[in-house]
Amino acid sequence: MIKNLYMNKIGRNAKIASLQISKISIERRNAVLKQFNRYLKTNSKSILISNKKDIINARTKKISDSMIDRLKLDNKKIKKIINSIEEIIKFKDPLNITLSSWKRPNGLIIKKVSIPIGVIGVIYESRPNVTSDVSALCFKTGNVVILRGGSEAFHSNKILAKLFRKALKSKKCNENCVQFIEKKSRNNVDYLLSRMKDYIDVIIPRGGKNLVKKVLKKSTVSTIGHYEGLCHVYIDREADLNMSKKIVKNSKMRNVSICGAAETLLLDKKCLKTHCLPILNLLKNQGCKIIGDKKIKNFFSNKIKIATEKDWKTEYLSPKISVKCVNGVNEAIGHINKYGSSHTDSIVTKNKKTAKKFLSQVNSAIAVHNASTQFADGGEFGFGAEVGISTNKLHPRGPIGIKQLTTYKYVLEGKGQIRK
């Protein structure tokens, strides 16, 4: 691949900024975030005008309604962005914290101390709020970020990144702590993934399955993220009916286009007579399309389509759900571990022993008891916001917030000790 002067410049700028950001006090970092919030408030009209351009372009390109829903900003969503930044400001400095320490027999003191990761590349789709959340989280944690948003949200992302850089400049911080790749060529993404190892410490993809697959396939840099949100709700034989209805409705229908939305409902065969019709009729009345296995079809309605092997593996991101009858918690766990994406899975039951078994055995980054899968969100975890959700087995896992954007070093303090 030919050298990309534009991307190399971004990489060099990021590396320089990463050396400078470590010297910025928590007071100045918070001052930048407060200034950014002020700019969000005073420039809300300009933000919405930029977003309207993206919406018009998206409709011209016949982008799906669920994608447009992710893309669209309004005053309420801008207020939500501001609130997220305010929450991030409240967090204590996550850097230079002694996570653990111990003294060796020779008197050597060893400390494990939190530090920034360095330079983070974030590739994402649709949601403009990611630009604000990621910029704020990375700066708070002493990380430099290179942003590559989807072309569908170009104008929205551009103005938000511009405002953050303006806030950095106003507080005499290096603007390149946050850089937005403005050139739309996909070659820039390929170059970011394959030729910028010397500049970038980690890549975080946030978007659909195809985007994540591409990143994992092409990246020469470590990656953090998840393929898709194939989330399940399991209704156990000892589940309260009213609680089950509330949780299933919220898990599926609160927002069908997010990765924490439930895509498969598992019903214990012992509760079919009491729970199946009330729950599925509730979903149907909410406009949700239901497909199920033979037992569900026979019990609920002959008009529904029979679920195929492909359906159990599908993230719909729409008002559609696959429903399966299972023979107890063991079969539910087996189904989730076979077809799930290790994202978020929930059990509804009064039985604490059954819940404990489910929570310990499902291979999920987030395992839930008696609550909605849509709590799979950094804001709901009290992280203020999130860069994304990771299903990686190695650090970090689950929502990636303040603490997850730090790594550590070992600091050894001695009094002249030498090794024998």
CA 177 to chain centroid, in Å, comes to: 21
Please report which confidence band the pLDDT of residue 129 belongs to, taking 50, 70 and 90 as the band edges: very high
Q: Which two tokens stand for residue 197?
A: 């190892």
pTM: 0.87
Rounded CA separation 48/144 (Å): 27
pLDDT of residue 414: 95
Helical pair 352-361 and 329-339, crossing angle rounded to 10 deg = 20
Asked if pLDDT for residue 227 goes beyond 80, the answer is no
Indicate the helix (H) or strand (E) that contains 264: strand 262-268
Q: How many residues does the chain have?
A: 420
Asked if pLDDT for residue 177 goes beyond 80, the answer is yes
Alpha helix positions (H), 171-272: 186-194, 209-218, 241-253
Rounded CA separation 115/112 (Å): 10
pLDDT of residue 301: 83
Backbone angles phi, psi at 232, to 5 degrees: -125, 150
- The least confident of 32-36, 131-135, 212-216 is 212-216
Model pLDDT for residues 361-409, shown as the tens digit of each residue: 999 999 999 999 999 988 899 887 788 888 887 778 888 889 999 999 9
Strand partners, 103: 109
pLDDT above 70 as % of the chain: 100
Cis bond before residue 396 (omega within 30° of 0): yes
pLDDT of residue 179: 98
Q: Where do the DSSP E strands lie in 344-405? A: 344-348, 366-369, 389-390, 398-399
Rounded CA separation 384/402 (Å): 8
- DSSP β-ladder status, 406-413 and 109-116: antiparallel
Backbone angles phi, psi at 387, to 5 degrees: -80, -30
Helix/strand/coil for 39: helix
Q: Which two tokens stand for residue 418?
A: 């030498």
Asked if pLDDT for residue 311 goes beyond 80, the answer is yes
pLDDT of residue 1: 65
> Quick one: CA torsion of 229, 234, 235, 237, rounded to 10 degrees?
180
| Contact indicator for 153, 126 with CB cutoff of 8 Å | yes
Rounded CA separation 396/141 (Å): 15
User: DSSP code of 29?
Assistant: H
Domains, in order of start, for the chain: 5-224+400-413 (3.40.605.10), 231-375 (3.40.309.10)
Q: Which two tokens stand for residue 100?
A: 């653990």
From 150, 136, 198, 147, select the one nearest 405 (Cα to Cα).
136
> Exposed, middle or buried, 363 (CB in 10 Å: 0-12/13-18/19+)?
middle
